Amino acid sequence: MSWSAAIAAATALSALALLSIIALLSGDDPSLAAAALGTAAWWGTAATLVLQSAALLWGRRRATAPLGCAAGLCLVLALVFPSGVFTITALPVLVASFLAGLTGAWREVRRWALASGVLVAAAHMVNGSAEGRTDGWNLVLQAVLQALVVVGLPLLPASVIAAQRATNAARRETLAAVSRERDAKISEAVALERAAMARELHDIAAHHLSGISLMASAVARQTASAPDEARSGALEIRKQSNAILEDLRRLVGLLRDAASEDEGVKTLATLPGLIETARATGARVDFALRSDERRKPGAGVSPLGQLAAYRMVQESLTNASRHAPGAHCVVTVDDRDPHRLRLTVRNAPPGRQARPASGGSGFGVVGMRERAALIGGSFDAGPADDGGWETRMTIPRESGHDLPEQSA
């Protein structure tokens, strides 16, 4: 049984029980004699109460319809069977008014409450006039008070409860929105972390595997003509393989929240080792550091900025080995500017007999640009004047590390 059916049944039973009690007491009150048990007025009132209670079932579809129907039935009863028990019909109207204020929209409830109040007041005046009352102004005042009490008074607590419901619903919606926003931020953070891991894996794997590929080609050519050099190249391949495995283990360890060893931190100080590794693969790489004697190289550059610098050089050398194999490369670190660090990696155009890679994923340049943006720097890449390729990154220093201006 739905809540509206339960309310309708309870209202009908309560009103009929009250009508029966009043009818049993009609012998002691001459004004109630016309509504004695079994009379036409009694049956008419009972039928009206049942219809008014049945109108409450409409509340499932429209909250204000039962109020207007119950008030209209009051007027019909007053016109057909006026009696002293007429006031019992106020009970279903009161219940209907409370339900309308509880579940209906206030703009619609306001119009129906006004119309229902007019109907209840009119019914009270018609019933009083039929009983022979001649005190007109008193009758009008009582009719207005009847309408205010029966229709207006239940709207007050109903409105308070409805406002509390709306507030709770808004609070739940706000909490749900906050929860959705938090989940979205978590998903975004996870996506960014996955992108960062993908870039890191790309930088590590692409650099080492490109070197291994070049060394393997050299070993294949030297196997017959220069076995000793081929053996050295094979050992270097093994060294590079171990290096990539170590880097991958370190990255996985970071993902597992394990403390990384200091020797695994990539900084500007580790760039010479990176250059030596590239030279071991047969690449021709020169390294130039232009520093200021008044501070340590890389001073004021954050650890994240130094990692970005290392990865930029690593990725640039990898791209040079893929697209311009055998070309001369120059890595320049300009540390003289007191506000920012500049890195440049430039390679000459590939030789006529070189076989550049057919293409790449494009993630290397994207990763370098994203790393620069992450630390507030800048990155650009493009063809050089001699037909080669040049990549440039600018990394800002943290505040407090700028050199003071020299006094005149």
pLDDT tens string 216-260? 776 766 676 777 777 777 777 767 676 666 666 666 655 554 444
Structure confidence at residue 262 (pLDDT): 41
CA 362 – CA 194 distance, rounded (Å): 17
- The H or E element containing residue 84 is none
Pair 147, 190 in one domain: no
Pair 219, 339 in one domain: yes
Pair 380, 260 in one domain: yes
How confident is the model over 174-187, as a mean pLDDT?
82
C-alpha 266 chain-centroid distance: 36
Pair 206, 328 in one domain: yes
CA 23 – CA 406 distance, rounded (Å): 110
Residue-wise pLDDT for 319-356, tens only, equals 888 888 888 999 999 999 888 999 999 999 887 766 65
The answer to whether residue 355 sits within a structural domain is yes
Contacts of 9 (CB under 8 A, 6+ apart): 53
The answer to whether residue 405 sits within a structural domain is no
Pair 191, 142 in one domain: no
CB distance 5 to 93 below 8 Å: no
Please name which of 7, 94, 17 lies closest in space to residue 57, comparing C-alpha atoms: 7
Q: Which amino acid is at 199?
A: R
Pair 276, 195 in one domain: yes
CA 184 – CA 178 distance, rounded (Å): 10
End-of-domain residue from the set 115, 137, 153:
153
Domain that holds residue 200: 179-396
Mean pLDDT lowest among 180-184, 338-342, 399-403: 399-403
Pair 149, 190 in one domain: no
Provide the β-strand partners of residue 382: 390
CA 164 – CA 373 distance, rounded (Å): 49
Contacts of 128 (CB under 8 A, 6+ apart): 139, 142, 143
Pair 148, 244 in one domain: no
* 3-state SS class at 394: strand
The answer to whether residue 10 sits within a structural domain is yes
Pair 148, 224 in one domain: no
Number of structural domains found in the chain? 2
Pair 148, 211 in one domain: no
C-alpha 340 chain-centroid distance: 37
CB distance 372 to 393 below 8 Å: yes
Pair 291, 388 in one domain: yes
Pair 149, 187 in one domain: no
What is the reported pTM? 0.44
